[in-house]
């Protein structure tokens, strides 16, 4: 618990309404936190980097439930519910919020550490699936734990997206 008596709680929002919930909670005087990260999105053969919530449909709110009327959160536009344990809001450790904020860059986005096991251009071997035992070059890793490998098929370089567990060092 902090010196002010405020603790962090989790609010579930309506679908794609995180910003709406934050705005309306802010109007009521609640302090909120929405951790966001830069996500690679592919649409209509274009790849772009966009800001996305780290926890879709969830927002953190700081409340001193001993002195503050917290039930108004339940009827706030954009909010589905306050996550509770029984009839009381379920508090989370401020350590969680501190850790998330500690991973933010200068723009305020949480930096996710990619788990790439290979360097760009490194030779890899596919160990399962249709291309099993084929050799290729590691190109990139997506934000969904999938890898992009360049294979030499029929004299052409072909980009293939595979599950990360399907690739091993050559």
Which CATH number is 72's domain given? 3.30.70.940
Question: Is the whole-model pTM more than 0.85?
Answer: no
Query: Quick one: 80 and 130 in the same domain?
Result: no
As for how many domains the chain has, the answer is: 2
Instruction: Say how many Å lie between the first and final Cα of the chain, rounded.
Output: 51
C-alpha atoms less than 13 angstroms from C-alpha of 110 in its C-beta half-sphere: 19
CB-based contact 159:108 (threshold 8 Å): no
Query: Quick one: 13 and 73 in the same domain?
Result: yes
State how far the Cα of 27 lies from the Cα of 124, in Å rounded to an integer. Answer: 53
- Domain limits for position 92: 7-102
Find the CATH number of the domain harbouring 135.
2.30.30.30
Long-range contacts from 120-125, C-beta under 8 angstroms, 24+ separation: 122/169, 122/170, 123/169, 123/170, 124/149, 124/167, 124/168, 124/169, 124/170, 125/167, 125/168, 125/169, 125/170
Could you list the pLDDT tens digit for every one of the 170 residues in the chain?
Answer: 555 689 999 999 999 999 999 999 999 999 999 999 988 777 787 778 889 999 999 999 999 988 988 899 999 999 999 999 998 899 999 999 999 999 999 999 998 766 567 888 899 999 988 888 899 999 988 766 788 899 988 888 999 988 887 888 88
Query: Quick one: 137 and 64 in the same domain?
Result: no
> Is the backbone of residue 16 left (phi > 0), alpha (psi -120 to 50) or beta?
left
């Amino acid at each position: 618990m902090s010196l002010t008596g405020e603790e962090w709680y989790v609010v579930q929002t309506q679908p794609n309404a995180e910003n709406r919930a934050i705005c309306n909670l802010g109007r009521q005087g609640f302090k909120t936190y929405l951790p966001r990260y830069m996500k690679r999105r592919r649409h209509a053969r274009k790849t772009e980097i966009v800001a996305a919530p780290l926890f879709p449909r969830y927002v953190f709110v700081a409340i001193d439930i001993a002195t503050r009327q917290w039930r108004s959160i339940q009827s706030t536009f954009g909010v589905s519910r306050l996550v509770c344990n029984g009839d009381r809001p379920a508090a989370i450790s401020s350590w969680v919020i501190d850790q998330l904020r500690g991973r933010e860059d200068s723009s305020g986005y949480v930096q996710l550490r990619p788990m790439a096991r290979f360097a760009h251009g490194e030779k890899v071997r596919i160990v399962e699936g249709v291309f099993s035992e084929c050799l290729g070059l590691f190109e990139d890793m997506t934000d969904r734990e999938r890898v992009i490998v360049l294979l030499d098929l029929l004299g052409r370089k072909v980009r293939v997206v595979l599950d990360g567990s399907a690739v091993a060092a050559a």
